[in-house]
Structure 1
């Protein structure tokens, strides 16, 4: 099985800014797990007072284990839960999904902390890519947009557009319906990489609804979206925020 890479993002409380602060490299077939802080953690400490995790107390340490670290393991549903099948269906996953696939899909969100998990986007040889994410911020759009969100259907096409005047983050990626209702945003930690595809070749990307999960599904897993596009000469998630502090 091919090793997979996930990033850990932390949200600063006051301005709600997201920072990629850690990198998990996982090979579940061995099993081998490796966690390192990234340059984003160093920047988050300087700009927003990011507290290092109790489980990973040293910024320049290379943490390795044959078991998934508790920080991540606690964000995966217990396989003995009676609602496991429903939960995996909300994520558009099959029953054979491993913990890393679940984390990549569910975002690792917990109401008790300010962290999320997202997979490294890998481009193909021609620069094409696909990624999935749950819609952010849909509870903060106007009532007309929320009513439109209720009418979304699986497979429905969407627009992803640049927003340069977001009052919280300044720069953001809006998600709109084809009839121009702004229903929310792409996750902030994906915005720059996805914007490179939208701005570079706007006629060569697409977005669609994968699933709509009504209650009692968590609000953070309400609308699952897939975006496809292509980068020309651009390598995603390769800036200083994503590079490990230690090699």
Structure 2
């Protein structure tokens, strides 16, 4: 079975600025599937509902698994129009070739609109004893990243540091250069995973995957992470593509 293409749908509370993983979009063997993330994970749908979230108007039933032969209209409209004169430049900026897929473009751009607080991000993929994911550094504008941006290199290793004393988020994980310069944080919907991995001395490697000098602050530096699971994390279902969903595709 081929590996499904999965994206997490993230919602941000505009008042608190906190972001939540509220749903999953899957593309597999020609079918698109969307379902809400109802597990008891931290910063998932249940937390979001307690903090003001209202289900998307096109996906009102949080218990339903939505299936389509094409990308759902509300998500397709989030993609840049290929008729735009600068569309080839958009592809180049995001490192996409002319044979890109809609899911490729949705992942690269995040599907962000100025009119709401949704975005798509890559999931944590788990396969056997290994995992991988990538993320844009959160809180970039508030720390040292901009000062040393031109010194950073693609492929350069970064390090993570736990911050359990953080009053707003006791599972916070700081992103540092190998020289100890603070760049920002791992986004909260990933940080619990890394926090637990690091607390249990898990094996991982993190490095700079891409740098976009002219992008918005929250999209300037992307970090890729790969490693091996510790037993406590291996027991959890972190792949986000459950057997039920795959049977529905």
Distance in 1 (CA, whole Å) between partners of 2:191 and 2:213 is 26
Contact 2:140 2:218 in 1 (8 A): no
What are the within-5 Å matches in structure 2 for residues 78-89 of structure 1? 78-89=81-92
Distance in 1 (CA, whole Å) between partners of 2:138 and 2:25 is 23
Judged with a 3 Å threshold, the aligned counterparts in structure 2 of structure 1 residues 221 and 187 are, in CA distance, closer, same or farther, namely same
What are the ranges of 5 or more consecutive residues in structure 2 without an aligned counterpart?
39-43
Distance in 1 (CA, whole Å) between partners of 2:244 and 2:57 is 18
Equivalent residue, structure 2, for 1:153: 153
Equivalent residue, structure 2, for 1:226: 224
Q: Secondary structure at the match of 1:171?
A: coil
Moved more, 167-176 or 221-230: 167-176
Instruction: Specify which of 120, 128, 131 is matched with residue 129 of structure 1.
Output: 131
Offset, 1:169: 2.9
Equivalent residue, structure 1, for 2:19: 18
Distance in 1 (CA, whole Å) between partners of 2:160 and 2:222 is 14
Aligned length: 238
Distance in 1 (CA, whole Å) between partners of 2:22 and 2:16 is 17
Equivalent residue, structure 2, for 1:43: 47
Distance in 1 (CA, whole Å) between partners of 2:114 and 2:103 is 20
Contact 1:38 1:242 in 2 (8 A): no
Offset, 1:85: 4.0
Give yes or no for the alignment of 1:104 onto 2:107.
Answer: yes
Offset, 1:71: 2.8
Moved more, 131-140 or 168-177: 168-177
Distance in 1 (CA, whole Å) between partners of 2:117 and 2:191 is 18
Distance in 1 (CA, whole Å) between partners of 2:204 and 2:17 is 28
Distance in 2 (CA, whole Å) between partners of 1:56 and 1:245 is 19
TM-score (norm 1): 0.82
Offset, 1:89: 3.8
Give yes or no for the alignment of 1:170 onto 2:173.
Answer: no
Contact 1:134 1:223 in 2 (8 A): yes
Distance in 2 (CA, whole Å) between partners of 1:205 and 1:190 is 14
Distance in 1 (CA, whole Å) between partners of 2:153 and 2:59 is 42
Instruction: Specify which of 118, 121, 124 is matched with residue 121 of structure 2.
Output: 118
Offset, 1:182: 0.6
Deviations 1:27-58 (A, max 9, x none): 2x52x21212221323322x212111111122
Equivalent residue, structure 2, for 1:182: 182
Contact 1:24 1:34 in 2 (8 A): yes
Deviations 1:65-123 (A, max 9, x none): 22211332233233333434443344344332211123234333333322221233222
Distance in 1 (CA, whole Å) between partners of 2:68 and 2:153 is 42
Q: CA RMSD of the aligned region, Å?
A: 2.9
Offset, 1:132: 1.5
Distance in 1 (CA, whole Å) between partners of 2:244 and 2:142 is 36
Distance in 2 (CA, whole Å) between partners of 1:231 and 1:44 is 27
Give yes or no for the alignment of 1:55 onto 2:58.
Answer: yes
